[in-house]
Amino acid sequence: MVAKPRARLELDEQIYARQISIGDRVEVAQPSEGSFAIEKILPRETWLLRRNLGSFKNRPQCIVANADQLAVVVATRPDLRVQVVDRYFLAAIQGGLRPLLVVNKIDLDPDCRSSLVLRDYSELGYPVLFTSCASGEGLDELRLQLKDKLTAFCGHSGVGKSSLLRQLCGREDINVGHVNEQTRKGRQTTTTSRMYALPGGGDVVDTPGVREFGIHEMEWTEIHEYFADIASLARGCGFQDCLHKNEPGCAVKAAVETGELAAERLDSYIKLREEADVRHWER
């Protein structure tokens, strides 16, 4: 059944993004034989919002609605972009989704399991799974995490997200791209979000790959809570308002130097905090 929205939809005020998104539950009318129209979007239980840019920056885009969890797919090659992971995780937590990290292409770099930055996510209680489409490693464990849930798959281009979903769903019609060997960048193969059923129960949403992900209405307190490990270390800083950059007696910088904290995680924290401060003053 194909249904189109009417010109004006009834929409609950608690629904942030005002366009129909994949995963939305709607009320449908049948004005004529063989014709269906969406009359109302029902309240969303969960959502993943992305900040729009330019003149639409105050109107967030809803990537997926009513999902149970968000699987952020990364790969050590071409690169592991920690800042993208943290942005997705923060947006998932804001919208009530359970975030999990999928480190794909593990066959290309088996030693990444001991990576300090990945250890940080595990110690904070987030599931971290290692997978390989080439060898099949980790796919059964990932299937268990997805069983009987609606899971959105996100990540930047070139990490093998579509290849994973092709194997998980048993769908040969999911397009798979390749990484450019010169630029080390992936080609975007998913241009619109699509939902697929999993053979063992549950559904997945394949979302378009991104290079940047802007968080809608990011608050300083949310960043502070998400980076609980850095907040704990900061209690030992020499200055109460330490920015963890070049201040003397910074316990957070010292933790990076001793290998207790990943430098990439601190960089991500600083950039997100600065972005939240800028947006606070803009408002």
pLDDT averages per 10-residue partition of the chain, 283 residues: 50 53 87 77 90 64 93 84 91 95 92 88 93 93 96 88 89 58 44 85 87 76 91 94 93 96 94 76 49
What confidence score (pLDDT) does residue 36 get? Answer: 76
Residue 148 sits at φ, ψ, to 5 deg, of: 60, 25
Second CATH level (architecture) for the domain 220-282:
Orthogonal Bundle (1.10)
CA–CA distance, 52 with 246 (Å, rounded to integer): 33
HSE of 283 in the Cβ direction (CA atoms, 13 Å)?
11
Second CATH level (architecture) for the domain 62-206:
3-Layer(aba) Sandwich (3.40)
What confidence score (pLDDT) does residue 146 get? Answer: 96
Query: What length does the chain have?
Result: 283
Q: What distances in angstroms separate CA 171 from CA 81, 84, 164, one per listed residue?
A: 28, 27, 10
β-bridge partners, 47: 65
HSE of 50 in the Cβ direction (CA atoms, 13 Å)?
19
- Contact, 145 vs 202, CB < 8 A? no
All residues at 6 or more sequence positions from 254 whose CB lies less than 8 Å from its CB, including other chains: none
Domain ranges of the chain: 1-43, 62-206, 220-282
What confidence score (pLDDT) does residue 259 get? Answer: 93
What confidence score (pLDDT) does residue 188 get? Answer: 45
How far, in whole angstroms, is CA 132 from its chain's centroid?
Answer: 20
What confidence score (pLDDT) does residue 13 get? Answer: 41
